[in-house]
Amino acid sequence: MKDYIEVDEWKIIERGFNPACNKISESIFSLGNGRMGQRANFEEAYSGETLSGNYVAGVYYPDKTRVGWWKNGYPEYFAKVINAANWIGIDVTIDGEQLDLAKCEVASFRRELNMKEGFLKRTFTAKTGSGKLIEVEAIRFCSIANDETGAIKYSITPINFDGALMLTPFIDGDVVNQDSNYGEKFWDEVTKETWPLGGFIHMRTKKTGFEVVTGMQVVVFQDGEPVSPNVQPLQKEKYVASQIQVKAKKGQKTTLIKYVSNLASLNHPTAELAPDTRQILLELSEKRFDVLLAEQAKAWAKKWKHNDIIIEGDTAAQQAIRFNIFQLNQTYTGEDDRLNIGPKGFTGEKYGGSTYWDTEAYCVPFYLATAKQQVTKNLLLYRYKQLGKAIDNATLLGFNDGAALYPMVTMDGTECHNEWEITFEEIHRNGAIAFAIYNYVRYTGDEDYLADYGLEVLIAIARFWSQRVNWSNEKQQYVILGVTGPNEYENNVNNNWYTNKQATWCMEYAMEVAAKVKATAPAKYAALVSKTNFNEAEETARFKGIIEKMYFPFENDYQVFLQQDGYMDKEQVLVKDLPATERPITQKWSWDRILRSCFIKQADVLQGMYFFEDQYDLDTIRRNYDFYEPRTVHESSLSPCVHAIIAAKLGDEARAYEFYLRTSRLDLDDYNNDTEDGCHITSMAGTWMSVVEGFGGMRVRDGKLSFNPFLPGKWKSFSFHIGFRGSLLNIKVSKDGVQIKNLSGSSTVVLVYGKEQFVKANDELLVEA
């Protein structure tokens, strides 16, 4: 755990330069706008430890799978959102000496992420090897007002000398991915162009053929006035630059403004990429940096008006929840149903930027409540449009008759995860995709989605589960063998309770929806039966038979659901008895030792209890929580939030607050010693859930919002906005009670502590504690 980020309600602040933490900070201070994003690399040269990262949403490369032992059914490649052209670069030379903080004496340094207004600011004072002292201020942002653009304002001031400055803003397409399986570069140059104060480079991905034109236009000022410097355009392979020379006097500020556009063939005809780039750069430079920054602040104010969570009395908790919400809004806007949410977003290469089941399990609740309904619908449509490839994937593994196994990792619907225990065994992901459909319909009331799209997916998933089980003569029950549950510290186990639970629930829900669609939309139902060859009588009979006779492992002494067969054969050691020097075990232990231990990476049985909480009484949930939580090392970012929510439900304030802080500050404090790889974006939605579903106790009951909140002892109050079926509510929980503001033009009914409360349009009421 690190502790170098200053606590502030609206800002992430790093004061003082520590090279050992630089890659962590590059992740934490990342920027994005849903269409593109970047790590917080320095504009000027830096020869120290760094992970360069600039990313364009939806642009990926199929990196050939690298494994030691090939198995039938293995994906041929791992799809990756790849490092794209570096557009932030500005080489700085002072009287022939290159500015490089790894080689300078850094007298002062401050890096600040302004979450309220959406920009990154860095200031430092440094002394070069020759003794020249300079001050630098750099401000940059990725615009959410125009999501194909960004801008940088880079100012340098000599402190103790007069001298010559050479500023070289550039775009570099000769980039690499640190995680390239074979050291391959993924981009070819198509063309490039320069002019005195700008240029662009046109790149094309190998194999996939995505094309991206990245362009820049530069303006230079001294003492706030525009100047016409000596400029030399530069070109080399995959590189364009403008070499700018100016004289600078002691105390005189020289400012370079770099306007940038990033246009992809996903969104523009290829022939229009270059002319559109020139036009956008012209428009940006005519608007000027300060105007663009003001537009950025206005756009972020609109987002915060709906998404902000306000916590009074606990600045660390306040900073943390805003950081999580900020990163979620930087990563995904929901405007494009071709896009999804990678576990690292735009903050790093790990996990390839691909789609995992995290989206359905953790991100869907956040976007349901904080964005337009279409945003979450687009996440579901993303999977619907990939159903054909999910069926192909199941067929490749030996399933038939329209059974679908959605990929663990994907860009276009094709499975591309290259670890057998994940690719073939972590099949519970099918359940998360089905549950997201249920969650969406429960929340929005949009039952038309079931007839139009949902049922087709649910039938294919139910078919998979009905074929994946087998009959055990010994148990005289159905079993599911050879799986990996959410706890990835167990592989190739039999009868993972969570997986078995998801299987039966998916078949139940598919039958329920089929009956509903048949009754309410018979023509659509008939068309779907014909399209999918769904034999209602035969297939539902099989589903019912499996549901009735599914085996669920149970531990009688502790009266808990057993994570999988044989779990109690392991030595039962609690996490509290593990020496701190041996954690995280994923970095300190051999895989063999981990697999033989009882330690749990993330919520497994408890993940099922979170999803299906209405099926279990509090005593059952408490027994399972008290058994499994002490054995859980929380080395998955997805673990603490589930534990926080369940602890809150159980009234366990201490553990609810502990796990809230852990999930919310996971990256800020580098809990798992892995933030340098990128932030844990999808788990950040779980942080929001910890507050709203945990402390706020929000659920949907019979088509109504229900709240059963409590106030953590360290907080004076907390409040959040919820959009629900056309209404926008503000909920504030304090020692006085629960205040509900209806910010919409129609009345609504909510449940508070189980009692109905009628809230008039544009009115408010207080439910006293």
* Nearest-angstrom CA–CA distance, 480 and 225: 72
Nearest residue to 309 via CA among 766, 727, 758, 715: 715
Measured at the CA of 202, the angle between CA 198 and CA 208, to 5 degrees, comes to 155
pLDDT, residue 79, reads 85
Residues 231, 170: contact at Cβ < 8 Å?
A: no
What is each CA distance from 535 to 478, 521, 531, in whole angstroms? Answer: 22, 18, 11
pLDDT, residue 196, reads 94
pLDDT, residue 25, reads 98
pLDDT, residue 68, reads 67
pLDDT, residue 579, reads 95
Three-state secondary structure of 403-426? CCCCCCCECCCCCCCCCHHHHCCC
- H helices of 349-451, in order, are 358, 364-370, 373-384, 387-396, 420-423, 429-444, 448-449
Residue ranges of the chain whose pLDDT lies below 50: none
Three-state secondary structure of 527-596? HHHHHHCCCHHHHHHHHHHHHHCECCCEECCCCEECCCCCHHHCCCCCHHHCCHHHCCHHHHCCHHHHHH
Catalytic positions, written as ranges: 488
Q: Could you tell me the two tokens for 573? A: 């050691």
Phi, psi of 695 (to 5 degrees): -65, -35
SS3 category, 67? coil
pLDDT, residue 73, reads 76
What is each CA distance from 439 to 366, 431, 435, 604, in whole angstroms? Answer: 11, 12, 6, 19
What is the reported pTM? 0.96
pLDDT, tens digit, 9 for 90 and up, residues 480-501: 999 999 999 999 999 999 999 9
